[in-house]
């Protein structure tokens, strides 16, 4: 590539400023693309989270009816059903939704159980609050239940993604390669006009 004399004889500092502007613009574009990509990935993962959770509702209905026929105690049957369904959802979300392969399964299950318990309290609080404090939701109790369930699902997904099944990104091979090179290496010299190997 040829470089004109006008480019070489530019006043000092102009080329550096031009490079800084281009670098800053490139970094800003990269951050924006990463942000949009993260939003898209989160949205797709949330849809998968909701889809995978649907069978759990059917399993809960079947188990609750079986336990009620055996024990006849709704509180006990409902509690056992909750634990079984939480375990089911934990296993399918761990494998299919988040693709987690960590060996800390028991610790993750306990965190997920607490997340579901918190979501249940949130669901109950929101639905009951809307039902008893607004005329519309008092007349349409299904809407209050739907809002509570929706917000509880979002809360469960966020907690699961950020706390339970969080994936710690490993440094890339390029980053490791650069960090292991000494400043006096031939590659480092080439950046400042030295010989390349």
Q: What is the mean pLDDT of residues 103-118?
A: 90
Question: How high is the pLDDT of residue 145?
Answer: 85
Question: How high is the pLDDT of residue 11?
Answer: 55
Q: Which residue has the higher pLDDT, 195 or 163?
A: 163
Cβ-contact 148, 124 below 8 angstroms: yes
Cβ-contact 155, 119 below 8 angstroms: yes
Q: What is the mean pLDDT of residues 109-118?
A: 94
- What is the DSSP annotation of 171-187? PPHHHHHHHTS-TTSHH
Residue 13 has pLDDT above 60, yes or no: no
Question: How high is the pLDDT of residue 41?
Answer: 81
CA distance 58 to 184: 65
Domain boundaries defined on the chain? 16-47, 55-97, 101-167
Q: Which residue has the higher pLDDT, 74 or 23?
A: 74
Percent of the chain with pLDDT over 90: 31
Predicted confidence (pLDDT) per residue in 181-194, tens digit = 444 444 444 444 55
* Alpha helices for the chain (secondary structure H): 5-8, 14-70, 74-92, 105-133, 135-139, 141-159, 173-179, 186-191
Burial of 81 (0-12, 13-18, 19+ CB in 10 A): buried
Q: Which residue has the higher pLDDT, 36 or 93?
A: 93
Question: How high is the pLDDT of residue 57?
Answer: 86
Question: How high is the pLDDT of residue 110?
Answer: 93
pLDDT band at 31, cuts 50/70/90?
low
Q: How many residues does the chain have?
A: 197
pTM: 0.63
Average confidence score pLDDT of the chain = 76
């Amino acid at each position: 590539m040829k470089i004109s004399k006008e480019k070489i004889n530019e006043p000092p500092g102009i080329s550096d400023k031009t490079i800084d502007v281009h670098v800053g613009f490139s970094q800003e574009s990269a951050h924006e693309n990463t942000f949009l990509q993260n939003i898209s990935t989160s949205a797709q993962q949330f849809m998968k989270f909701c889809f995978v959770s649907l069978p759990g509702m059917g399993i809960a209905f079947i188990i609750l009816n079986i336990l009620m026929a055996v024990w006849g105690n709704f509180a006990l049957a409902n509690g056992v059903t909750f634990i079984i369904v939480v375990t089911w959802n934990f296993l399918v979300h761990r494998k299919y939704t988040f693709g987690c392969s960590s060996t800390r399964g028991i610790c993750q299950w306990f965190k997920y159980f607490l997340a579901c318990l918190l979501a249940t309290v949130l669901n109950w609080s929101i639905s009951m609050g809307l039902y008893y404090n607004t005329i519309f939701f008092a007349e349409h109790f299904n809407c209050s239940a739907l809002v509570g369930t929706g917000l509880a699902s979002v809360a469960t997904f966020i907690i699961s993604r950020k706390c339970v099944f969080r994936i710690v990104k490993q440094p890339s091979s390029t980053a490791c390669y650069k960090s292991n090179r000494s400043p006096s290496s031939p590659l480092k010299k080439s950046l400042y006009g030295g010989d390349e190997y």
